Amino acid sequence: MTRRWFALLPLAAALLAGCGVSGPAAADGVVRLPDPRLDPPPAQPGEQVAVFAGGCFWGVEAVFDHVRGVRRAWSGYAGGAADTATYEQVSDGDTGHAESVKVIYDPRQVSYGQLLKVFFAVAHDPTQRNRQGPDVGSQYRSVIFYATPQQQRVADAYIAQLTAAHAFAAPIVTQVTPLQGFYTAEAYHQNYAAQHPDSPYIVYNDAPKVAHLKQWLPALYRTPTQTVDVQLQ
């Protein structure tokens, strides 16, 4: 399904699609999730890879571009085969792909568990199955694509922790799936929110996510200073 969001603009405005507003909020409106109890340092030194899917990749990428310790982020596709990793095919919803974001991060500045906290708190709504706000289809499902067994353990443990704490009013439907491949999306999707800040879709759906990151998790927020390289090895 392509983004026929013009017809859904009133709904998008009302829901602030996928911006985390359905999470646990205190009286001041701030979403508060606990830090992951299981969050060990990676087994190998150096930059690490994390891949998340949570609705339209424009907004998820915009959030992680603003996270301290994130070196690069790309929009792309994961969950399906290489020969179907094009926007037109993925938009049909039957390729097995989810719109995803690949994050390269420095674990000396931000841990995998902290990235998970950002993912659940502000990047998307983990209680929506096969949709985020006005975007509907399996390509918009919530997925953590783990790159290592340790990432799988941390992700599973954090979901269990949030579930036990009743952190969300509805069940978490996020899948935890091994990363088989990540395929970079077309160049015009990269850094889309930053390049199109006045787009109604970005204004209603994605800009609030970045604003909530700054408001709710200020210690993890930064202003991006580098241009994201769309070439991914």
Which residues are catalytic, by number? 56
Contact between residue 168 and residue 24 where contact means Cβ atoms under 8 Å apart: yes
Query: Dihedral of the CA atoms 203, 32, 51, 39 (nearest 10)?
Result: 160
At 216, the amino acid letter reads W
Beta bridge partners of 144: 52, 176
Task: Provide the token pair at 142.
Answer: 């919530």
Residue 168: helix, strand or coil by DSSP? coil
Go through 37-74 and write b for each residue having 16 or more CB atoms within 10 A of its CB, e for each that does not.
eebeebeeeeebbbbbbbbbbbbbbbbbbbbebbebbb
Measured distance between the N- and C-terminal CA atoms of the chain, rounded to whole angstroms: 28
Residue 52: helix, strand or coil by DSSP? strand
Total residues belonging to the chain = 233
Distance CA 74, CA 231 (A): 9
Residue 219: helix, strand or coil by DSSP? helix
Task: Provide the token pair at 159.
Answer: 């979901």
